Structure 1
């Protein structure tokens, strides 16, 4: 019904929707991408911990620690992950010395959406342990 004293408001909802939709989509996609990177970072931390846990077993080797960490990466479908033991291989670390397990993965290979919010970065997680009874 037409009211002559009321201003015309036809199409206002469609205009508001057209203005707000890109902002809402950016927020939604950004949230998905952030959650994906948080999952990646947490997976790297778990892999570093599990690699270190395997390294603490009596007679454990660097290869066994790498296999344990890489198993987590494979299980969670992390692409391009790498595992390193610092400062040197486990076999040459004396009892009572500290060592680090570093696990890293590129963000480009592990993103869900074809967006570039975290592009070109490498996330890393490190866990430190002390070599115990050999």
Structure 2
């Protein structure tokens, strides 16, 4: 019983820390996917920022990611010409997307960005 009482908290700590780390990896990969898909869509002619936000919503809401923000540079997508770079950035707070609160990752914000060259 003493061994069990000593080992159980350590085992649970390792288990919960592993689950939280896996969730943060999932969050980071989801943000990267959304940033990439929005960048690919953003270089198309006549695309609007609302269309980019819709694409981001479809990807991230479908994956259960909350309170994210999408930004892109340049902000005027119609000014994007052949050879120009488009940078899309997606950010989400780690605490609001964690499985067990913010005990491991605190107030950190996870951010991913993608840079793509306009081809059209």
TM-score, structure 1 normalization = 0.83
- Alignment length (residue pairs): 120
- Cα deviation, 1:37-94, whole Å, max 9, x if unaligned, reads 1111010001001111211323222221222122111111111011000143212222
RMSD: 1.3
Kindly report structure 1 stretches of 4+ aligned residues shifted beyond 4 Å: none
Residues 115 and 102 of structure 1: is their aligned pair in 2 closer, same or farther, counting only changes over 3 Å? Answer: closer
- Please tell me whether the aligned partners of residues 51 and 67 of structure 1 are also in contact (alpha carbons under 8 angstroms): no
Higher RCO (C-alpha under 8 Å, 6+ residues apart): 2
TM-score, structure 2 normalization = 0.92
Q: Which runs of 5+ in 2 are unaligned?
A: none
Residue aligning to 2:60: 73
Q: Which runs of 5+ in 1 are unaligned?
A: 1-13
Give the Cα separation in 2 of the matches to 1:113 and 1:21.
Answer: 18
Q: Tell me which structure has the larger Cα radius of gyration.
A: 1
